[in-house]
Amino acid sequence: MEKINPLLYITDTDPVPEEILDASGWYETEYMEIEQGDKAEGFLAWFLAQGWVLYDQNTSSVVTGQFWKWDGTSSPPDFNSHPSFDAIGYETWSKTEYTVLGSTSFSGRWYNSTSANLVYRLKRRKLQSERVLGDMISQFTGAYNEGRSINDQRYDELVSLYAVMVSNTEDELNTILAESQDSSTGYEALIEAVIGLLTTDYTTHAADVTGDLDTWGTSMIAEINTRFNNLVTALRQDLVTKGLYNTTVWTTSNSGIEKDRSTALTDLNDKIVDKQLALKDRIHVFQVDMRQNVMEAYFRLMKANQDNLFTPLEFRNRMMTAMLAFMERRTDGYPNLGDIANIAGSLGFAEGATVAPTT
């Protein structure tokens, strides 16, 4: 019996340690100023709820405009008659009023109108979604590629070992058959005739039933589609009559009908598949029975002088099967790419992802 060395086909793949993800660049400090004129008191509480922190405030004097003032306690009769601010700025301006009794001089100038302006200074530490998503995609992709690569490698190793086991088993069986043919020619001819009949019977039956259910269920699928098409037509006509066809009522109602259609077709397809699988399973059972009978016939043919050869061959195959099953049970988990989409969606709405800034 030829030996099979599994170490020639198996590669020892050790897990790669994951590095700690550096999150120091995920957050950024943002600054903002709110002036009293912007109704700061009304917005301040809202900003604080969004993670902003008040770290400074001050009050300053702000020029809001200019006003004219005459010197002294009196003003000329036409007291509004004075030059504009654009003409003289803050310069003093004088005028003389003449009457029959004499003249009176007046002077005045423009002054600034001021008001106190309160300014709030805010800051916060906010999560930078694009940076986080970039780092997560990089790590997820690396883990995903590593997991798929290991799984593919293990699959190739299993296939190689199975192929070697099958090839060696076939060689052993061919040797056994060759040794048995010399000593049992008459008995072998009888067994070969029986084997030929088994194969012929199976082939005839398989050819007779194969394809019987290929078109089964076609009329039922057409009936379901016709029924639901009629429902869609009736719904469209009803909504057109009521003037609701171009509203969301049509989309919602039609979606419900299509969902029911899909469910009905899925249930029917499941029944069709069950029927077809039952037929295929029946053919498979016949095939297994036929092959078992063939093997039993050959066993009777070779039993006299091959018992000692079958025992070590079966033992070797069972050991190989147990080892392959052990290898197959190993799983290398890797992240689902759908998780990246979920993270991206979550980060897109992460306006509140803030932390208290450092002082």
State which amino acid sits at residue 19. E
Q: What is the pLDDT of residue 40?
A: 57
Q: What is the pLDDT of residue 1?
A: 67
Is pLDDT of 170 > 80? no
Task: For the chain, give the percent of residues with pLDDT over 90.
Answer: 1
Helices within 103-217 (DSSP H only): 129-181, 185-209
Q: What is the pLDDT of residue 352?
A: 46
Q: What is the pLDDT of residue 357?
A: 55
Give the model confidence (pLDDT) of 223-253 as tens digits.
888 888 888 888 778 877 877 777 777 788 8
Q: How far is CA 300 from CA 29, 308, 311, in A?
A: 85, 14, 15
Is pLDDT of 302 > 50? yes
SS3 content of the chain, % helix, strand, coil (to 5): 60, 15, 20
Distance CA 21, CA 134 (A): 12
pLDDT band at 221 (very low <50, low <70, confident <90, very high): confident
Give the 3-state secondary structure of residue 155.
helix
pTM of the predicted structure, to 2 decimals: 0.35
265 neighbors 221 (Cβ within 8 angstroms): yes
Place of tokens 């057409």: 222
94 neighbors 56 (Cβ within 8 angstroms): no
Task: For the chain, give the percent of residues with pLDDT over 70.
Answer: 70
Q: What is the pLDDT of residue 328?
A: 76
Distance CA 339, CA 346 (A): 10
CA 60 vs. chain centroid, Å, equals 53
pLDDT band at 111 (very low <50, low <70, confident <90, very high): very high
Q: What is the pLDDT of residue 138?
A: 80
Q: What is the pLDDT of residue 306?
A: 57
Q: What is the pLDDT of residue 109?
A: 92
